[in-house]
Amino acid sequence: MTTFLQATFDGVATGSLYALIVLGFVVIYRATGIINFAQGGALLLGGYITYNVSTSWGGNYFLGIIFSVAVCAGFSVLLQRAMLQRIFREVVGISAGLLGWAALFYNGTTHLVGLIGGVVIGVLAYLITARIEARVGDRGPSELPLFGAIMVTIGVLFIIKQVAASIWGFAELSVDDPWELSTSVVGDVVLQHSKLAAIAMAAVALGVFFVVDRYSRIGIAMRATHFDHEAAIAQGISTKIVFATAFAIAGGVAALAGSAATAGPELITPNLDFVVFLAFPAMILGGLDSPAGAVAGGLLVGWIQNLVKTYVATTPAWFPIEDLDWLGAGFERVAIFIVMIIVLMVRPYGLLGTEEVRRV
With CB under 8 A as the contact rule, the residue among 62, 168, 210, 349 that binds another protein is 349
CB of 49 to another protein, least distance (A): 19
* 324 lines the binding site for another protein (CB under 8 A): no
The distance of Cα 200 from the centroid of its chain, to the nearest Å, equals 18
Q: Which stretch, 125-133, 228-236, 238-246, 332-340, contacts another protein (CB under 8 A)?
A: 332-340
Instruction: Give residue 238's region: left, alpha or beta (phi > 0; psi -120 to 50).
Output: beta
With CB under 8 A as the contact rule, the residue among 163, 191, 292, 351 that binds another protein is 163
With CB under 8 A as the contact rule, the residue among 121, 152, 199, 300 that binds another protein is 152
Site for another protein in 274-293 (CB under 8 A): 277, 280-281, 283-284, 288
How large is the C-alpha radius of gyration of the chain? Answer: 22
* 102 lines the binding site for another protein (CB under 8 A): yes
CB atoms within 10 A of CB 316: 9
CB of 159 to another protein, least distance (A): 4
With CB under 8 A as the contact rule, the residue among 13, 28, 72, 156 that binds another protein is 156
CB of 176 to another protein, least distance (A): 26
Q: Which stretch, 9-17, 122-130, 217-225, 335-343, contacts another protein (CB under 8 A)?
A: 335-343
CB atoms within 10 A of CB 323: 8
Site for another protein in 105-134 (CB under 8 A): 106
SS3 at position 142: coil
Residue 270 neighbours by CB under 8 Å, 6+ apart: 44, 161, 162, 164, 165, 168, 170
The CA distance from 13 to 6, in Å, is: 11
Distance between terminal CA atoms of the chain?
54
Burial of 283 (0-12, 13-18, 19+ CB in 10 A): buried
**Contact assessment for residue 23 and residue 295, using Cβ atoms and an 8 Å cutoff:** yes
* 158 lines the binding site for another protein (CB under 8 A): yes
The CA distance from 269 to 271, in Å, is: 5
* 165 lines the binding site for another protein (CB under 8 A): yes
Site for another protein in 247-276 (CB under 8 A): none
Binding site for another protein (CB under 8 A): 29, 35, 82-83, 86, 102-103, 106, 142-152, 154-159, 161-163, 165-166, 277, 280-281, 283-284, 288, 326-331, 333-334, 337-338, 340-341, 344-345, 348-349, 356, 358, 360
